[in-house]
Chain A
Amino acid sequence: MTDRVIFACAVAVAAVYLYATTLIPSLEIGDPLGPKAFPRLLGVCLLIAAGLLFVETWKERGRGEPLAERPAARDYRHLWVVAAVVAWTAAYYAAFEKLGYVLATAVYLFALMAWFNRGRWLANVLTSLLFSALSYALFLRLDVNLPKGVLPF
């Protein structure tokens, strides 16, 4: 099943990519190939790779997936957790410059730890505060400028 989805996605990407290649404006002087030739080759290669995957899936079809890998009731909770972490990380990046590195990072870390390292409040608070402040100071010394944001220092 998964392999069929990958096959479909690969074909779709190849199609979009080949279409986008036709949109590249090109004046072919001095360079017999121009900016389109290599990409065209890649589009074809992706189609070939998708074809190989199709052959692989075709050969496997008789065996079928073992039943153990297909639990009757699928548990999707862990996938929601990952999606939430992705969204929370995007929110962190959005606040990265507005709030400043130290504040945004401390809040971001604390929330992650509160979920994934539950119950150890003291350790979580201390780690998130200390890490944010110390890493800021360290990178300041290494001439890496992290956003200052709303804090005065």
Chain B
Amino acid sequence: METLAHILNGFAVCLQPINLWYTFVGVFLGTVIGVLPGIGPSAGIALLIPVTYGMNPTSALIMMAGIFYGARYGGSTTAILINTPGEASSVMTALDGYQMAKKGRAGAALAISALASFIAGTLGVIGLTIFAVPLTSLALKFGPAEYFTLMLFAMTAVSSLAGRSPAKAMISTVLGLMISTIGIDLQSGQPRYTMGIPELQDGVGFIIAVVGLFAIAEVFYTMEEMTKGVRPEIIRLRGSVWLTRQEWNRSLMPMMRGGVIGFVIGVLPGAGGTIAAILSYVWEKRLSKHPEQFGQGAIEGVAGPEAANNSDTAGAMVPLLTLGIPGGGATAVMMGAFIMYGIQPGPLLFQNRPDLVWGLIDSMYIGNIMLLILNLPLIGLFVRLLYIPGGILMALIMAISAIGIYAINGNLVELYIGLAFGVLGYVFRKVDIPVAPMVLSLVLGGMMEQSFRQAMTISGGNPAIFVGSTICVTLVLLSVLSVALPFILPRLKAWREGAAQEKA
């Protein structure tokens, strides 16, 4: 009953004119960032953090969440019209969406992706509202050992799912943890790995690293592509953005299924929107009576994945808000924003600041409605963004990154650190090492070490504490499983195929 009052009060918070305005700004910027290839929600949120320093945290977080889920709406537009996903998670939308556009059904593809995004996005927020409270009561039982093993699971899950090579993702994770140990050790006061640079005493700024790894690195990569002379063709949007009755009927079930897949994948650490979209696509193709149409412009192939990657955002907010542990790159950046405002997300936040938590969650209902309006009747305006020359856009992103980093402390050295992370992110991309695991471990590294040491202090230095409770054992087993799975699965498959061949 108390929860219901909090939920209703959340609406009172998010319906305040100032918060409505920031919801709008957030989802608007999110759509813009989504439409523009080359800049994603993680970079967008990170660039905004320094600017929102003086704002009321509730409004600022509402705006940043708006960017996170808004970008998923915008990403599909680019996928459909120029066959390039505006966001990584709309990569599956490009397959059939672009084919529909080539056949003159661009309007229908855009309409169904906006509708699927809205329906699944709203379903996802309902799921978030329902599951938040039970999970927080579980999380309240967590001690340092449980938190340590939970973070371990988040990191191993991201490592094994983030890229093609789990070993490379693991290298990325451990490097991130190593970077997070730079600076003065909180317990002993000893400086570690500062190499005599005073700016490193407080550690490497998370926001600086994220701006470098996402925004600056992406600009370098895009500039290289531009030099190679790859220029996609933009399909002009003709006719109305709407769909036929038959197209709607074909899309309804895929949307529902995609919404469920996306939410579940979102709650689990590691996988994220791209994998949710891929799973939904594969599932729809398997269920379809005419799988041969997939890849040729099947509307189910747009509806399912678009639903999945939108309910994923609401799902991803579940572990961030209830446990205080993000499960992927973008939520890790959101966590960085929380921390900057001195707010620790987690179960206690639901008790201490129900207005903030529920204001944020409820704003996502409103934001999804705004996004539907922005992405259906007004989509034509956003399509024009695609005509901005890449050379101008990339240059501006570089200047905005410089403002974003400089605004934090007004320190020149931090600009160079950001540039170094930009080069690192570019090199990682070239050699196929995922950066999301590094971002996650950068934001969790400090907490992870603290909970590790607290647990060890409690147990008097006995590591058995990490298998001392059912929760710990479960999480440790899950971690081991997620590391081992990528190595076992191919063997199991080969073994089964071998067995099948022997039988035949």
Contacts and interface: CB of A to CB of B under 8 A. Distances in A.
Size category, A interface? 35 or more
Interface in A11-61: 13, 17, 20-21, 24-27, 31-35, 37-39, 42, 45-46, 48-50, 52-53, 55-56
B227 interface: yes
Contacts of B190: 24-26, 35
Contact of B396 (A24, A101, A109): A109
Contact of B175 (A13, A21, A39, A123): A13
Contacts of A133: none
B390 interface: yes
B433 to A, nearest CB: 7
B243 interface: no
Interface in B50-80: 50-51, 53-54
Contacts of B403: 101, 135, 139, 144, 146
Interface in A127-141: 127-128, 131-132, 135, 139
Interface in B361-407: 389-392, 394-396, 398-400, 402-403, 406-407
A109 to B, nearest CB: 5
B436 to A, nearest CB: 16
Interface in A73-122: 77-79, 81-82, 85-86, 89-90, 92-93, 96-97, 101, 105, 108-109, 112-113, 115-118, 120
Interface in B157-214: 165-168, 170-171, 173-175, 177-178, 181, 185, 187-188, 190, 192-193
Contacts of B18: none
A38 B402 contact: no
A6 interface: yes
A146 B452 CA distance: 40
A47 B456 CA distance: 23
Contacts, number: 175
Contacts of B422: 86, 89
A93 B171 contact: no
Contacts of B410: 145
Contact of B188 (A27, A42, A50, A118): A27
Of listed A25, A34, A85, A147, residue having the most chain B CB within 10 A: A85
Contacts of A93: 402, 412, 415-416, 419
B419 to A, nearest CB: 6
A111 B281 CA distance: 44
A101 B400 CA distance: 11
A10 B169 CA distance: 12
B168 A53 contact: yes
B228 A78 contact: yes
A142 interface: yes
Contacts of B53: 144
A6 B456 CA distance: 33
Contacts of B390: 116-117
Nearest to A136: B403
Contact of B167 (A20, A52, A108): A52
A90 B220 contact: no
B388 to A, nearest CB: 10
Contact of A53 (B167, B188, B426): B167
A146 B171 contact: no
A108 B391 contact: no
A112 B181 contact: no
B453 interface: yes
A131 B393 CA distance: 11
A93 B208 CA distance: 14
B147 to A, nearest CB: 14
Nearest to A34: B188
Nearest to B407: A144
A49 B167 contact: yes
A32 B412 contact: no
B461 A32 contact: yes
B188 A113 contact: no
B399 A33 contact: no
A24 to B, nearest CB: 5
Given A35-B192, A142-B51, A143-B54, A115 B174 contact: no
A144 B168 contact: no
A33 B186 CA distance: 13
A119 B461 CA distance: 67
Interface in B98-157: none
A50 to B, nearest CB: 7
Given A45-B174, A48-B170, A116-B223, 12 more contacts: A17-B178, A46-B174, A53-B165, A81-B224, A93-B416, A96-B402, A97-B412, A108-B395, A112-B395, A116-B395, A117-B389, A131-B396
7 contacts: A2-B432, A5-B431, A17-B178, A35-B188, A113-B392, A131-B396, A146-B407
Interface of B: 50-51, 53-54, 165-168, 170-171, 173-175, 177-178, 181, 185, 187-188, 190, 192-193, 216, 219-220, 223-224, 226-228, 389-392, 394-396, 398-400, 402-403, 406-407, 410, 412, 415-416, 419, 422-423, 426, 431-433, 449, 452-453, 456-457, 460-461
